[in-house]
Amino acid sequence: MARSRSEYVCQNCGHRAPRYVGRCPACESWNSLVEEAIAPTAKTAIATVLPSRQRRDRLAEAPPQAVAAQPLSAIADVSQQRIASGSGEFDRVLGGGLVPGSLVLIGGDPGIGKSTLLLQTATALSQQQPILYVCAEESGQQVKLRWQRIAAHRSPNQADQQFYLLPEIDLDAIVAELETLRPPVAIIDSIQALYSPALGSAPGSVAQVRECTAALMRVAKQLTITLLIVGHVTKDGAIAGPKVLEHLVDTVLYFEGDRFASHRLPRSVKNRFGASQELGIFEMVDRGLEEVGNPSALFLGSRDQATSGTATIVACEGTRPLLVELQALVSPSSYSSPRRAGTGIEYNRLLQILAVLEKRLGLPLSKFDAYVASAGGLNVAEPAADLGIAIALVASFRDRCLRPDTVLIGEIGLGGQMRPVSQVELRLKEAAKLGFQRALLPKGQERCESDLELVPVSRLVDAIGLALQEAPPSSDRS
């Protein structure tokens, strides 16, 4: 019998080490290695029992396997109808609905609304087909209480008879229930709480998470079951467990949103059946998550009173254009090293724009603190927001107010030149729908059909001059 042995596995990246070390050599995280027992596989047991010559003879006598590959033209075309989740925003993030047999991994901070969204989805889907909800972290009574709060508007005669609840953490019992019930859609809440008796490690470890996900993936593909899996996140915001977990699934969604605000933003960072970086917008109310009808109004401040250092951009999240108000504050620094802070924008992008403004325009921003924030807490990472960030900083530095009917679109190069952006017509159409009348955009892209007054610019200095030439001084100076 093979001797049992153990190894140390990093709980962040899955790196394996024969002995304990305080810092993981792969991801450089401290105190993340946990000892796990290694169960000998059948192949290892055979290799231990048989001598080397007998192993060679056994492999030589093995018959060759038949080739199972087929040419692409021989594979039959199957049109699969997507499953509507009952929420237009959720379907938008998924690329048009749930694909049968796919795996969707949903991550986010605790209390952001992952379980609420999936419970609402299960309630809507159970009106037409059986749904299995595996609650590995709550009892059946606790899930029933949340369901009663979410479905309080339903009449008693619409009780969900096809909503099946399974409070279980044993992987074998869950797989057996999936094979018996065979629901079109199943929900696992959450994958870190599942436990496979075949592994000696504790629930939530790298080995357990990886093997449980792989087993569920095999069942989902064989039985064409759509699986929605909830995953915990680390303190850095990434999904806990090995990175291979995100490679196994078909779609990865992250919940975003300020915990002090009521809106919730699920974003697709990976989608094999739709566009990535697609964004859905919900509002958390007492009955759960509600869809937001006009998303751009959520990220726009009040346009009645002009304020220095504010600019409006049109950000594209996937295929959705959103108007976002950027707010900048430039003030004299009290320290030898000025402070830079960005909320909702990439920090390195802010440093790059500040360097371009100082080098190309001669603004002494190295002696001033600079703060930039996006209204509503939306994370804007695309380069098309560069022009809005730069003009908001200059407007705050000079204490000027921009015209409230102007939107700014453009990427800034390191030489101070304006670079073209994608989906310009879609951005301009959204701005015109909300009443904007003027748009500054890179030269060469003003040929787009739009009801707005298009002002093309080729250099950042020209854009700032055109944006601030009609800007009045701020009246809120103290």
Residues annotated in the binding site, as ranges? 108-115
Strands 185-189 and 131-135: parallel
How far is it, in rounded angstroms, from Cα 167 to Cα 136?
6
Residue 233 carries which side chain, given as an amino acid letter? V
**Residue closest to 354 by CA, chosen among 385, 320, 390, 401:** 390
Q: Counting beta carbons within 10 angstroms of the beta carbon of residue 378, is it exposed (0 to 12), middle (13 to 18) or buried (19 or more)?
A: buried
Residue 387: strand, helix, or coil: helix
3-state secondary structure 97-128: CECCCCEEEEECCCCCCHHHHHHHHHHHHCCC
Query: First vs last Cα of the chain: how many Å apart?
Result: 82
CA distances for 132 relative to 59, 140, 187, 269, 449, angstroms: 44, 13, 6, 26, 49
**Residue closest to 444 by CA, chosen among 469, 475, 421, 415:** 421
User: Tokens in use for 265?
Assistant: 């933003």
Residue 28: strand, helix, or coil: coil
Q: Counting beta carbons within 10 angstroms of the beta carbon of residue 360, is it exposed (0 to 12), middle (13 to 18) or buried (19 or more)?
A: middle
CA distances for 123 relative to 163, 187, 195, 211, 255, angstroms: 7, 12, 26, 29, 20
**Cβ-based neighbour number of residue 290 at 10 Å:** 15
Residue 388 in contact with residue 349, Cβ under 8 Å? no
User: Tokens in use for 172?
Assistant: 């074998």
Residues 6+ apart with CB under 8 A from 378: 256, 265, 299, 315, 322, 324, 344
How far is it, in rounded angstroms, from Cα 295 to Cα 375?
12
Residues 6+ apart with CB under 8 A from 420: 411, 442, 444, 445
User: Tokens in use for 263?
Assistant: 């809106």
Q: Which residues are annotated as a binding site for ATP?
A: 108-115
Residue 85: strand, helix, or coil: coil
How far is it, in rounded angstroms, from Cα 343 to Cα 352?
16
Residues 6+ apart with CB under 8 A from 52: none
